[in-house]
Chains A and B, each alone.
Chain A
Amino acid sequence: MTHPTSLAGSLQRQPAQDAGAATLSVKGDWTLQHYAALRGEVERARRQVSDADQVELDAMGELDTAGAGLLVELLGPARVARLDEWAPQLASERQALLRTVAAALDQPEAEQAPETNGLADVLAHIGRTVAGVWNQQRTLLGFIGLTLQTLVMQLPRPRRWRITALVAQIEQTGLDAIPIVALLTFLVGAVVAFLGATVLADFGATIYTVNLVAFSFLREFGVLLAAILLAGRTASAFAAQIGAMKSNEEIDAIRTLGLSPVELLVLPRVLAMLITLPILTFIGMLSGIAGGLVVCSLALDISPTMFFTILQRDIPLNHFLVGLGKAPVFAFLIAVIGCLEGFKASGSAQSVGEHTTSSVVQSIFMVILFDAVAALFFMEMGW
């Protein structure tokens, strides 16, 4: 497509001589390549150009849509539309191109958005954020209510239980998460044992490392680590899945088919989480204690037999129950927040990303908040 005698486009204006009109000569390639320079020349020349000027297009090389746009800006759409009168020698396809561009540009420029001032923007932003947080909590409560209502409506009708979806979700959220949960809690268990041993050694009470590990994992760490992992792993997956479905209009399709998205999408996920998080919590407790056991037997000379004896003698069952009892609550919160954020996403990829992030942040926040409140409550109750 390159012309053998390619020449940068240029514009020259010969001022009027005697009584004659001024001449504008358009030369060289008016293409995208030379756009920046040409636009400058056009901007400069435009103020002086009048309708009486002669225009010479004969020396013009290549012309593309970018160049045509500039020519139209230079001469005005009305004049270009009458091209066949003043430049009949121009090739017909070029005339057609110029006329098409002229017709497209023959409309008023859009109004620029009004300037805003910085302080007002900041205040508006703060206001929007506060209102957003408030709305968020209201929507969350509403969504929890909707989910519970749908659940209650569906319970007496076993034929509408979606067992396949439930099992698939259990596999994805539970089974596939076992390795990472087990590994992580094992490592944290080992770390807690080391920390405990270091501090307790000063008091000659290294043996209490066993109590420390068992106590912390049964009451707190087992459930907390599992919940935080699932918040990162599953809440984000829920939000992204549902968000992508929303942008693909799948949610709308479900609605128009007379089905309930909550029943189809949310309930299987919530129920799957309610089943898997307690199991993962149990696995987390076991492997955390196993981590402590390994450190105790390798570094602290506490044999496994002794470890289990102390465990059996000193740790009552209620610690385990306190830890496990929190799991369903966390599971419900994580699943509901993940699904809700998915529903809140709008069509764009950016929005899906934002809501996925938000689902993780919110669910981890909620888990830790509820854990703190629960710790206070159980302490006061003396459980």
Chain B
Amino acid sequence: MSADDPVIQVRGLVNRFGKQAVHVNLDLDIRRGEILGVVGGSGTGKSVLLRSIVGLRRPNAGSVKVFGENLLKLSTQRRSEVERRFGVLFQGGALFTSLNLQENVALPLIEHAGLRRADAEHLARQKLALAGLPPEAACKYPDELSGGMVKRAALARALALDPEVLFLDEPTAGLDPIGAAAFDQLILTLRDALGFSVFLVTHDLDTLYTICDRVAVLSQKRVLVVDTLERVAATDDPWIREYFHGPRGRAAQDAALKLETP
């Protein structure tokens, strides 16, 4: 595949739960090196879309191509190799509660990168520090931490293998504003340096304005529009208008403008 091909190509995706359809003929591309924000009201299937792309959910119809290959049709071995190039940050963190933070992050390093335990844990401590956790947190267990710290640790685990595509499900929810801004900045810096693509499900308008290259709006069971933020915000749709031009949307826009023109 050439460099311009999308890393992820979703075509005609259909997801149904019983009689209720969440997605009907949904198309979406994620380009190499871009940060794609995915927004939509509650229940529009943002997380379901994420789960379909990373292969946790078998869609009722349609195809999902990742790095040019259909994940659902690959052999287990090959699939595991592709999945290694993903980093996923789940909404609740999904840290392994029986391991401490350092072991949580070291696990993929030991299993997939083949590092020795000492090396892996050393590197894991660095990743935890990079995600903004203090050194003494490394030996704590997930149930001893606050929600925001769990999020950071989960990000460190998602970044452990320096993935090519990073899936973030509401990463800044539950973080304080300072932490959320630092989080945005970290994703941006790492993306610039490492060139990975980011699939970012979020409700945080500040995040959208600060780091997203393109924004996809999920509505009416499909991707209503996907484009740069300005063009999406200018789309004539009642939900989009409400979303971007409501009081919160305007405040975030003002804040972003102030950042750009100090």
Contacts and interface: CB of A to CB of B under 8 A. Distances in A.
Given A32-B161, A35-B119, A36-B115, A107 B190 contact: no
Given A33-B113, A65-B159, A348-B97, A100 B130 contact: yes
A36 B159 CA distance: 18
A66 B194 CA distance: 11
Nearest to A108: B135
Contacts of B141: 348
A349 B99 CA distance: 11
Interface of B: 97-98, 109, 113, 115-116, 119, 122-123, 125-127, 129-132, 134-136, 138-139, 141-143, 159, 161-162, 164, 186, 189-190, 192-195
A110 B138 contact: yes
Nearest to B135: A110
Contacts of B139: 110, 113
Q: Please report whether the interface of chain B is mostly helix, strand, loop or mixed according to DSSP.
A: helix
A370 to B, nearest CB: 34
Provide the main secondary structure of the chain A interface: helix
A97 interface: yes
Contact of B190 (A1, A32, A97): A97
14 contacts: A63-B193, A64-B194, A65-B126, A65-B130, A94-B193, A96-B193, A97-B194, A107-B134, A108-B135, A109-B135, A110-B135, A110-B138, A350-B98, A351-B97
A347 interface: yes
B156 to A, nearest CB: 10
Interface string A65-81: 11011000000000000
B127 A110 contact: no
Nearest to A113: B139
Interface string A185-221: 0000000000000000000000000000000000000
Contact of A348 (B113, B143, B186): B143
A93 B126 contact: no
A27 interface: no
A98 to B, nearest CB: 8
A346 interface: yes
A69 B123 contact: yes
A77 to B, nearest CB: 11
A111 B195 CA distance: 35
A31 B113 CA distance: 11
Contacts of B134: 107, 110
B100 to A, nearest CB: 11
A225 to B, nearest CB: 35
Interface residues on A, range: 20 to 34
Contacts of B131: 104
Given A65-B194, A105-B129, A350 B97 contact: yes
10 closest residue pairs by CB, A with B:
A348-B97, A97-B193, A110-B135, A93-B192, A347-B143, A69-B126, A350-B98, A104-B129, A64-B162, A104-B130
Nearest to B136: A110
Given A104-B126, A107-B129, A346-B143, 10 more contacts: A35-B113, A65-B126, A65-B190, A65-B194, A93-B192, A101-B126, A104-B129, A104-B130, A110-B138, A348-B97
Nearest to B186: A100
A36 B119 contact: yes
Contacts of B113: 32-33, 35
A78 to B, nearest CB: 16
B187 to A, nearest CB: 11
A351 B143 CA distance: 10
A39 interface: yes
A348 B142 contact: yes
Given A32-B162, A36-B116, A97-B194, A104 B189 contact: no
Contacts of B136: 110-111
Contacts of B194: 64-65, 97
Contacts of A108: 135
Nearest to B32: A1
A110 B126 CA distance: 12
B123 A107 contact: no
Contacts of B130: 65, 69, 100-101, 104-105
A347 B142 CA distance: 9
A286 to B, nearest CB: 42
A65 B135 contact: no
A35 B135 contact: no
A348 B159 contact: no
Interface in A37-94: 39, 63-66, 68-69, 93-94
A104 B155 CA distance: 14
A349 B129 contact: no
B249 to A, nearest CB: 29
B143 A97 contact: no
A68 B205 CA distance: 31
Contacts of B116: 36
B2 to A, nearest CB: 14
Nearest to A69: B126
Q: In this complex, which of B135, B139, B195 has the most chain A Cβ atoms within 10 angstroms of its Cβ?
A: B135
Interface in A103-136: 104-105, 107-111, 113
B189 A100 contact: yes
A65 B127 contact: yes
Interface in A1-38: 1, 31-33, 35-36
Contacts of A68: 193
B240 to A, nearest CB: 32
B138 A66 contact: no
A94 B192 CA distance: 8
A108 B130 CA distance: 14
Contacts of B127: 65
B192 A1 contact: no
Given A65-B127, A107-B129, A35 B162 contact: no
B164 A97 contact: no
